[in-house]
């Protein structure tokens, strides 16, 4: 499920390309989704396209009720 503020969409990839993404993601300790985002941002930056940084992902457990 996509987090608020994230756009979800289906992406069809060649299996060999997906396998390469999995390897790159594992090497960078990222999910495949996060790796795709990083690669897209890098490619856009090389083309001179500015993308505003989104909110960082929330990490850890949610606070307990009353905390």
Q: What is the pLDDT of residue 58?
A: 72
Angle among Cα 3, 60, 6 to the nearest 5 degrees reads: 15
DSSP one-letter string for 16-45: HHHHHHHHHHHHTT--HHHHHHHHHHHHHH
Task: Please list the ranges in the chain whose pLDDT falls under 70.
Answer: 1-4, 57, 66-67
Q: pTM score, two decimals?
A: 0.72
Domain map (residue ranges) of the chain: 15-46
Torsion sign over Cα 36, 37, 38, 44: positive
């Amino acid at each position: 499920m996509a987090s608020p503020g994230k756009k979800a969409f289906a992406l069809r990839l060649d299996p060999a390309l997906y396998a390469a993404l999995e390897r790159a993601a594992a090497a960078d300790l990222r999910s495949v989704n996060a790796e795709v985002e990083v690669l897209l941002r890098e490619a856009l930056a090389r083309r001179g396209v500015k993308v505003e940084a989104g909110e960082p992902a929330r990490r850890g457990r949610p606070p307990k009720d009353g905390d």
